[in-house]
Amino acid sequence: MTRPAPMTRAARLSLIAMGPRSAAALVAASLVGLLAFGWPFFVPVGQESGAHAISHTQDAPWLFVAVLPLLAAVVLAQLSEGGMDAKVVALLGMLTAVGAGLRAISPGVAGLEPGFFLLVLAGYAFGPGFGFVLGSLSIVAGGLLTAGVGPWMPFQMFAAGWVGAGAGLLPGAARLHGTVRAWQLGLLGAYGTVAGLAYGLVMNIWFWPFTANGTGLSFIAGDPLAANLARYGAFWLATSLGWDLPRGVITALLVLAFGRGLLRAFARVSRLAAFDATPAFPGGDPQNVNRA
């Protein structure tokens, strides 16, 4: 027979525990992603031509090679801390396939990406580490299904991973024991809207510094960071908001429509799979099992 292990401080955040090693691996992966997105903003004056010549078409393959071990590190850290086991890895694989299928339905056309609502709900239920890995793997699997493989993929992996991880950091996940309250759905719907907008806001950075359009919305290497960010904000409002807003709205609507049922299902799966169960033998003697 088994009995549930006492809930630790790490486990209170979600249905799957997030310990210090898992958090460190997640932070390290995120720092690599931030560096990959942000290095053009810190190109010194006089090296503009070199920066434009390099672009992300040159470093994207190396970034893709780097992100896979980072995902493995997050999973292995959670395995070592007991937050994941074979059952959780199987669940991760199943949800990755579902996310890839949803992405194949509408692979970013006009910003309509129904798979985002699954990232929000799964990240909220199973924690930031699970959400980060699910978001990244869903992008890879969806890209293979839709032939959407290109230099943008590793950047999409980071951005989608952050969407799932951010959901896991929202308050209230500890109360997922079969009862989903209205305020939790409202919170997730609002987060889905913000995440849909933020995904596009972040993703444009992968190409914007290397695009010179001569309209005053271009990146200027060596300029102060605040000036470049102001130009980028204007660029995003003018060119990307119309794509990102539908993504956020669709994500929010799907969360509100299906969130209660899916969160209840996730909580039920967690209980039945006994993710945090520890073995206990009658009388503390394993041989009693044979005599029973």
The domains of the chain are located at 16-275
pLDDT, position 193: 95
pLDDT, position 252: 95
pLDDT, position 12: 38
Tell me how far apart the alpha carbons of residues 89 and 40 are, in angstroms, rounded to a whole number.
36
Structure tokens that stand for 121 in this block? 């709900």
Instruction: State the pTM of this model.
Output: 0.81
- Taking residue 51's Cβ as centre, other Cβ atoms within 10 Å add up to 18
How would DSSP label each residue in 131-190? HHHHHHHHHHHHHHHHT--STTHHHHHHHHHHHHHHHHTSTTGGG-SS---HHHHHHHHH
- Burial bucket for residue 240 (CB in 10 Å: 0-12, 13-18, 19+): middle
Tell me how far apart the alpha carbons of residues 84 and 97 are, in angstroms, rounded to a whole number.
19
pLDDT, position 24: 93
Tell me how far apart the alpha carbons of residues 50 and 46 are, in angstroms, rounded to a whole number.
9
- Burial bucket for residue 178 (CB in 10 Å: 0-12, 13-18, 19+): exposed
Which runs of consecutive H residues, i.e. helices, occur in the chain? Answer: 20-38, 48-80, 86-105, 116-126, 128-146, 153-168, 182-203, 225-239, 241-273, 287-291
Residue type, 34: L
pLDDT, position 250: 92
pLDDT tens string 157-190 = 999 999 999 999 998 754 555 578 888 899 999 9
Tracing tokens 């997105």 back to the chain, one arrives at: 37
Sites in the chain below the pLDDT cut of 70: 1-15, 17, 43-57, 107-111, 147, 173-178, 212-214, 270-292
